[in-house]
Structure 1
């Protein structure tokens, strides 16, 4: 394993600080993307295109989750950089921590959030003695894109957008009816549609936005 002197360790600290800033910027940009997807929901509802609205809602939820994950990772990385800097100043760097910092320096050359999360979890285990594993942390970050968005989340977001929009109540109700028909089947009769609607968290559009 490659050895590292104090200057090399401080270079890793600087790299971690820069990476944390970049991840924070990525988080902000991803949040902006989420807002753009959210605006597309309203336009789709205005056109009564419920399938597109649902897709945009799922995209919005995923991007919001990704933004939060990136921000958390940036915060963890910034904290770890401060801890490593303190260890170098106090000359309390252990061999396992030195090896972990070396690995971190290599990972930061390509800012892959999943790889950074894995290396950071190992680093934290050495510097904090927390015993954090890498599997759960990597799975948590990687699940953002892979996990299916729940129907409840999608419907709640559709409710919010419909409540915030400026098109009329009749158009809102028509969009709701079309959405329900496509979700439970084309052959849904009017009574069943009303019953299904009453079971949803968005019984009355325009009320109870998130």
Structure 2
């Protein structure tokens, strides 16, 4: 009966929160520990009753505060769509979301994974992507020193006989922003694309 109840509760939490807020596994471990205590009692013949202290469910089930990296991922996506504007955005948004955005998030995770919580809290994302034909989507920088850590860019390239592509790439402070690290390309068309932010 308990297995059925556990599965029902897990499904209810997933359905009610639309999968956005997954249940923490502590509750399931607590329920299983209770069962193992009861099983061990039955085998020893003890009739002692165990009582459990009430724990606030929000402490067990949910992590209400998004992590720093989740916040950076969300801001990165917002800045990218801001740069695309209303002319480029609707045309490339699907391909960007499936092919480029995961690479941006992976690059952010890879380069920020080694930082401690203190350094992560000092980071911010620039909020003004450049327009016209400039490359800047956003930069991740240290709010105390105002020095960039990672620069994410997109450049328009014309390939002979193929047409125009948007080349997404980034640079890191480790090599003084010299290396061009590719994230992927999105094809536009043979026609000249509009300016960014338009």
- Measured against the shorter chain, the TM-score band is 0.3 to 0.5
TM-score (norm 1): 0.33
More helix by share: 1
State the TM-score, normalized to the length of structure 2.
0.35
Q: Which has the higher contact order (CA 8 A, sep 6+)?
A: 1
**Structure exhibiting the larger radius of gyration computed from Cα positions:** 2
